[in-house]
Amino acid sequence: MLLSDVELRTEISEGRLVLDPPPSEMAIQSASIDLSFHNVFWRPRHGLKGYTVVPSQADPYKFMDREQRDEVELAPGDLILGETAEAISLPPHLAAWIEGKSGLARHGLLVHLTAPHIAPGWGTPNPKRITLELVNLSGVTHRLMAGEAIAQLLVTRLSSPSRKPYSGKHLARGS
């Protein structure tokens, strides 16, 4: 069951769903929470053309440079990894998924390519930011600003709490 704005506020106010910083009233939509773009991102290194990678055996961050600034430009065809400004923690009875904002999609910007599922227990006990895969499919350069709404978090209640919540096996990148 997808949580409504009323249920989202309850989960947040009772400390079960944690967003740090907490969402503004405007960020809580009818059945989602707007998430904003953080000022940390990773861009593929130059000179990798022709390099072959086995994705299941390679750390993608090994081929990327970390940058930190308040705006980033994506030229047509560019890929970057970004993060949500909000760090999130889900209890065992909630799961979530992340979707891009439709206004950005209409400009040809893919905000989250795949793996939108956020498992129960994510960021517990220490809230974590969500990695975003951003690609510019349009013919123009896009400038993204830290703090602007970039994605939305949809939260669902499980029929019973998970017995196998997220175990934190993803590599920590730090911020």
Phi, psi (5° rounding) for residue 79?
A: -125, 135
Contacts 24+ apart (CB under 8 A), 8-15: 8/33, 8/155, 11/94, 11/155
For the chain, counts of helices (H) and of strands (E)? 2, 11
**148 an active-site residue?**
no
Of these residues, 7, 14, 25, 133, which one is catalytic?
A: 133
SS3 assignment, position 126: coil
**Residues belonging to the active site:** 133
